[in-house]
């Protein structure tokens, strides 16, 4: 992993040696889960990570004990529920894959409202109404809200990378909690949309017979269905993919998550590819923090690009630096098809963001 050009590798080495003493403590919240475990393993093998703090409401000490035997530099420690303060103390990067994954038939937005709550309504005998408020606590929205409160208290200056779905709403929730606590810095909050870029690269290179490592596709918008907008016209390698093949490719990139949810048949959603994508994003983020120049990743951040249309958060190419977001790149030239995709994305994205803001403000 972490494949890069020779020039980038030289820069990374230089950045690494100039920051060889830089302590880079990374905390993973939800480290015992399907994403948390492989991502933590990959982070343990990243030479830029010096300390790994693995937290989950269940199982993190065991995962940490296992991973800590890998003979790489980073130290690794696991924490249980009562220890979230120790887990977060001194963390410079916090990655959050905590929460419930999808099952077939669900959208990511369904994860905002509790899956358990839905079940309880269907089975009132096993889940009597008086327990509904407790079940409501199990939504991804409230999980992210509560983890945001803990981060605001214990590591308000950390870079925060949100994986928990629906990303289009959980990032605004996190931001609102930080605003309430008076510690919000928009440059330090990222929705992780890297898996969309990873998939676009894999699917396109599969069609064109190219090496995925040289097949970079910019994907903008949000992280669900039609809010995912691949900009294939900006990639030389995509030239020649047109007509039905183009439509199929766009659909596959937009609904790649559903492909995995279907294939896993009720046992979860993408975990291993997401672990890879999450560790890749964190590696880029730390390279930027360590002073490497021109580190660019698409990520869902507070963005001025479509603010005038009421869309406060948007994923586009972002240059990462010492303080997080260094520069937000515009989407660039769009084809007529891409303009249509963007037109379809913005209203949905606006609704998803408003839902997150509303939830955080009212809870």
* Rounded alpha-carbon distances, angstroms, from residue 93 to 69, 134, 230, 249, 282: 22, 31, 28, 34, 8
E strand or H helix that includes residue 327:
strand 324-328
Nearest CA to 268 among 194, 165, 167?
A: 165
Q: Which is nearer to ligand NAI, 12 or 152 (CB)?
A: 152
How many angstroms separate the CA atoms of 96 and 191, rounded? 10
Cα separation, 301 vs 194, in Å, equals: 13
The strand pairing partners of 220, in sequence order, are 229
- Given a contact cutoff of 8 angstroms between Cβ atoms, the answer to whether 254 and 226 are in contact is yes
Q: Which residue is nearest to ligand OAA (CB)?
A: 257
Applying CB under 6 A, among 49, 88, 91, 143 the residue interacting with ligand NAI is: 143
Residue located via tokens 């507070």: 302
* Alpha-carbon dihedral angle through residues 102, 103, 109, 115, given to the nearest 10 degrees: -90
Query: Residue 47 touches which of ligand OAA, ligand NAI, none (CB < 5 to 8 A by kind)?
Result: none
In the complex with ligand OAA, the residue whose CB is nearer, 204 or 270, is 270
Q: Is 144 in the site for ligand NAI (CB under 6 A)?
A: no
- Partner in contact with 140, chosen from ligand OAA, ligand NAI, none, beta carbon below 5 to 8 Å by kind: ligand NAI
Rounded to whole angstroms, the Cα distance separating 339 from 344 reads 9
Count other C-beta atoms under 10 Å from residue 272's C-beta: 14
Report CA 357 to chain centroid distance, whole Å: 18
**Where on the phi/psi map is residue 93: left (φ > 0), alpha (ψ -120 to 50), or beta?**
beta
- Is residue 223 part of the annotated active site? The answer reads yes
Q: Which is nearer to ligand NAI, 300 or 306 (CB)?
A: 300
Query: How many angstroms separate the CA atoms of 16 and 290, rounded?
Result: 7
From the list ligand NAI, ligand OAA, none, partner contacted by residue 260 (C-beta under 5 to 8 A by kind): ligand OAA
Select from 43, 167, 198, 226 the one that contacts ligand NAI (CB under 6 A). 167
Closer to ligand OAA at the Cβ: 108 or 145?
Answer: 108
Q: Select the residue interacting with ligand OAA from 12, 43, 171, 261 (CB under 6 A).
A: 261
Q: How far is Cα of residue 335 from the mean position of the Cα atoms in its chain? A: 27
* Of positions 40, 164, 224, 352, contacts ligand NAI by CB under 6 A: 164
Q: Nearer to ligand OAA by C-beta: 174 or 184?
A: 174
Give which of ligand OAA, ligand NAI, none residue 337 binds (C-beta under 5 to 8 Å, depending on kind).
none
Phi-psi region of 59 (alpha: psi -120 to 50; beta: other; left: phi over 0): left
Distance CA 48, CA 292 (A): 12
Q: Which of 282, 355, 359, 360 lies closest to 324, judged by CA?
A: 282
Quick one: which segment of 112-120, 235-243, 257-265, 328-336 binds ligand OAA (CB under 6 A)? 257-265
How is residue 142 written in tokens?
């409230």
Least spacing, CB of residue 195 vs ligand OAA, in Å: 5
User: What does the per-residue mask of binding to ligand NAI show for 252-281, with x meaning CB under 6 A?
Assistant: ----------------xxxx--x-------
> Binding string, 315-334, against ligand NAI, x = CB under 6 A?
--------------------
The residue from 40, 120, 140, 169 that contacts ligand NAI (CB under 6 A) is 140
C-alpha to C-alpha distances, 137 to 81, 112, 113, 150, nearest whole angstrom: 15, 11, 10, 16
Cβ 241 to ligand NAI shortest distance, Å: 24
- Tell me the window of 162-170, 175-183, 304-312, 347-355 that interacts with ligand NAI (CB under 6 A): 162-170
Q: Which chain residues interact with ligand NAI by CB under 6 A?
A: 29-30, 32-36, 56-58, 97-102, 111, 140, 143, 146-147, 163-165, 167, 192, 195, 223, 268-271, 274
Instruction: Please identify every residue annotated as catalytic.
Output: 223
Q: Which chain residues interact with ligand OAA by CB under 6 A?
A: 101-102, 108, 165, 195, 257, 260-261, 269-270
């Amino acid at each position: 992993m972490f494949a890069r050009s020779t020039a980038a590798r030289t820069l990374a080495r230089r950045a690494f040696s100039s920051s060889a003493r830089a302590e880079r403590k990374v905390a993973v919240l939800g480290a015992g889960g399907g994403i948390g475990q492989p991502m933590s393993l990959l982070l343990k093998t990243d030479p830029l990570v010096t300390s790994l703090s693995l937290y989950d409401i269940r199982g993190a000490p065991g995962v940490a004990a296992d991973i800590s035997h890998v003979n790489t530099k980073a130290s690794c420690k696991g924490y249980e529920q009562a220890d979230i303060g120790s887990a977060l103390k001194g963390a410079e990067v916090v990655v959050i894959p905590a929460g419930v994954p999808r099952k077939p038939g669900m959208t990511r937005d369904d994860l905002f409202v509790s899956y358990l709550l839905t079940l309880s309504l269907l089975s009132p005998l096993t889940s009597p109404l008086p327990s509904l408020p407790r079940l409501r606590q199990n939504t991804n929205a409230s999980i992210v809200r509560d983890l945001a409160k803990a981060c605001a208290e214990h590591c308000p200056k950390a870079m925060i990378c949100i994986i928990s779905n629906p990303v289009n709403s959980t990032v605004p929730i996190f931001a609102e909690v930080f605003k309430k606590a008076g510690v919000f810095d928009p440059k330090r909050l990222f929705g992780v949309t890297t898996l969309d870029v990873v998939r676009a690269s894999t699917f396109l290179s599969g069609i064109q017979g190219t090496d995925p490592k040289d097949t970079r596709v910019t994907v903008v918008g949000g992280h669900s269905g039609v809010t995912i907008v691949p900009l294939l016209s900006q990639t030389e390698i995509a030239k020649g993919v047109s007509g039905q093949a183009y439509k199929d490719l766009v659909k596959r990139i937009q609904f790649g998550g559903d492909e995995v949810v279907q294939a896993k048949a009720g046992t979860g959603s993408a975990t291993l590819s997401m672990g890879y994508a999450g560790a890749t994003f964190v590696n880029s983020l730390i390279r930027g923090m360590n002073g490497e120049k021109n580190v660019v990743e698409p990520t869902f951040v507070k963005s001025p690009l479509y603010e005038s249309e009421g869309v406060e958060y948007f994923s586009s190419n972002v240059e990462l630096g010492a303080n997080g977001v260094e520069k937000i790149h515009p989407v660039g030239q769009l084809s007529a098809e891409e303009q249509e995709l963007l037109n379809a994305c913005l209203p949905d994205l606006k609704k998803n963001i408003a839902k997150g803001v509303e939830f955080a403000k009212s809870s």
